[in-house]
Amino acid sequence: MSRKKLTLALMDPPYESANSTTALRIVAAALELGIDVNVFAYEGAVCLPLKDQAPHANPVKGTSVEEEEHPTTKTFVSALLEMGNGNPQLTWVNCGLCVDERGAGNVVDGVKRGSPADFLKMAQESTNTLVIPTK
């Protein structure tokens, strides 16, 4: 295998677990090292690139949307897809059945729809695979 490739399976929905942050950091670290990355988003993780996410103000602190700078996972996913647009390459596949169950089809550009069969193919063609399960 000439090029290194890492496949990640993610399951946690956004804003629920530190696993999501770490997973996105792992993707960024791999791309920084020039390693190709496959992400198979399963279950709640298909909502990570959901386009309908919106930053919000914080009425408790009295901050505006701009002051709060609330991060959204869709922005992180878009940034990672931009980093991995070529060499190295990031391929992000959302599980189609998980998407349909959640009505989560409106996702940022670059996210593909697939099935667990794609995850198998990704794992077979990768140097290694890391599954990050929900707790």
Partner 1 sequence: MSNYIFIESQDPFESRDPKFVEDMAIALKKRGHNVTVFLVQNGVLATRTECLARLTSAGVSLLADDFSLRERGIQPDEILPGVQSVALTVLVAALVQEQTKAMWH
CB 59 within 8 A of CB 111: no
Tokens of 27: 């993707």
Return residues touching partner 1 (CB under 8 A): 4-6, 18-19, 22, 25-26, 29-30, 32-33, 35, 127-133, 135
How far apart are the C-alpha atoms of 4 and 48, rounded to whole Å? 25
Smallest gap from Cβ 18 to partner 1, in A, equals: 4
Judged by CB, which is closer to partner 1: 5, or 108? 5
Judged by CB, which is closer to partner 1: 19, or 115? 19
Name residue 79's amino acid: A
Tokens of 121: 């193919």
Containing 1, the helix (H) or strand (E) segment is none
Judged by CB, which is closer to partner 1: 26, or 97? 26
